């Protein structure tokens, strides 16, 4: 289980995790559920938050996820290569009530396989299952009404599925998506950011697959920031821009 582990002084492994998926499938909401255990219908776009971070405890190991949101740059196919750079994990999200969003997810998976770290752990998450699950089976979900949270201010119009037979809203059969995930070597989940179903599992299952020992070895133990990393000099010979500024000020002029 994920564990906030606040105040913990133990060393943790930093893992850069990127979110991908079509607009309005619930990327930000999944992270919000994971990080704060909250859900906001009609979520406002994420302004001013560069990443969310969350610790995840796994037996004797602690991972610290540095979660990168797209900040809307995926809308017009304008995600920068920097976004994928050194990501050790990716969650590719689609909406189970929208068949085209799975197709889009597949193109993101291809993009990751082309651009990202070859060892990246990819999870495919079919979100919004609260819309297709009979409400009785879902403890905290009272109704299966609209989950029209806007992701990155890009709420897709005409998506406010309201009443009717829940199963009829499903456009992506679980079997089909799962078969694709298996074939492509992805972890697979169906989730509801609204009820919390399946969300924590994504992150704990990813944690199990991350080659932590390898990361520790390559970043010289614990302090490493294998993601694109804040100038904290994770790599050998790296420099931290925020250090040494005082040193520079009274530098000796020498020839």
* Residue 157 lies near other proteins (rule: CB under 8 A): no
In the bound state with other proteins, the residue whose beta carbon lies nearer, of 59 and 254, is: 254
We find the least distance from the C-beta atom of residue 174 to other proteins, in angstroms, to be 30
Under rule CB under 8 A, which residues in 186-215 are in contact with other proteins? none
Under rule CB under 8 A, which residues in 228-247 are in contact with other proteins? 228-231, 233-235, 237-239, 241-242, 244-245, 247
What's the CA gap between 21 and 243, in Å, rounded?
37
Residue 121 near residue 187, CB atoms below 8 Å = yes
Q: How far is CA 131 from the centre of its chain?
A: 21
* Residue 136 lies near other proteins (rule: CB under 8 A): no
Which one of 71, 99, 184, 216 is in contact with other proteins (CB under 8 A)?
Answer: 71
* Residue 50 lies near other proteins (rule: CB under 8 A): yes
Q: How far is CA 79 from the centre of its chain?
A: 15
In the bound state with other proteins, the residue whose beta carbon lies nearer, of 164 and 245, is: 245
What's the CA gap between 53 and 14, in Å, rounded?
9
* Residue 60 lies near other proteins (rule: CB under 8 A): no
The conformation of residue 137, written as its DSSP 8-state character, comes to G
Please enumerate in sequence order all residues whose Cβ is within 8 A of that of 147, keeping only pairs 6 or more positions apart, or say none.
26, 41, 128, 130, 131, 192, 193, 194
DSSP 45-105: P--S--EEEEEEEETTEEEEEEEEP-TTTTTTT---HHHHTT-SEEEEEEETT-HHHHHHH
In the bound state with other proteins, the residue whose beta carbon lies nearer, of 76 and 175, is: 76
In the bound state with other proteins, the residue whose beta carbon lies nearer, of 114 and 183, is: 114
Residue 3 in tokens: 């564990």
* Residue 111 lies near other proteins (rule: CB under 8 A): no
Name the residues that contact other proteins, by CB under 8 A: 4, 35-36, 45-55, 71-73, 75-78, 80-83, 85, 115, 153, 228-231, 233-235, 237-239, 241-242, 244-245, 247-249, 251-255
């Amino acid at each position: 289980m994920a564990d906030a582990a606040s105040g913990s002084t133990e060393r943790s492994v930093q893992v850069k995790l990127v979110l991908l998926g079509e607009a309005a499938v619930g990327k930000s909401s999944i992270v919000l559920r994971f990080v704060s255990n909250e859900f906001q219908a009609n979520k406002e776009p994420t302004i001013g938050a560069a990443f969310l971070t969350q610790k995840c405890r796994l037996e004797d190991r602690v991972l610290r996820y540095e979660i990168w949101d797209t900040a809307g740059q995926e809308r017009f196919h304008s995600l920068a290569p920097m976004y994928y750079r050194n990501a050790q994990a990716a969650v590719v999200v689609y909406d189970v009530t929208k068949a085209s969003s799975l197709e889009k997810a597949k193109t993101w998976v291809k993009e990751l396989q082309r651009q990202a770290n070859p060892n990246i752990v990819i999870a495919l998450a079919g979100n919004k299952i609260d819309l297709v699950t009979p409400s009785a089976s879902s403890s905290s979900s009272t109704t299966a009404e609209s989950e029209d949270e806007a992701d990155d201010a890009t709420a897709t119009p005409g998506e406010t599925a309201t009443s009717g037979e829940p199963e009829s809203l499903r456009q992506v059969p679980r079997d089909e998506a799962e078969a694709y995930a298996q074939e492509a070597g992805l972890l697979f989940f169906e989730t509801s950011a609204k009820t919390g179903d399946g969300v924590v599992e994504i992150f704990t299952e990813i944690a199990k697959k991350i080659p932590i020992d390898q990361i520790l070895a390559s970043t010289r133990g614990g302090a490493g920031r294998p993601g694109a990393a804040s100038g904290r000099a994770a790599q050998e010979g790296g420099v931290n821009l925020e250090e040494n500024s005082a040193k520079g000020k009274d530098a000796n002029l020498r020839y």
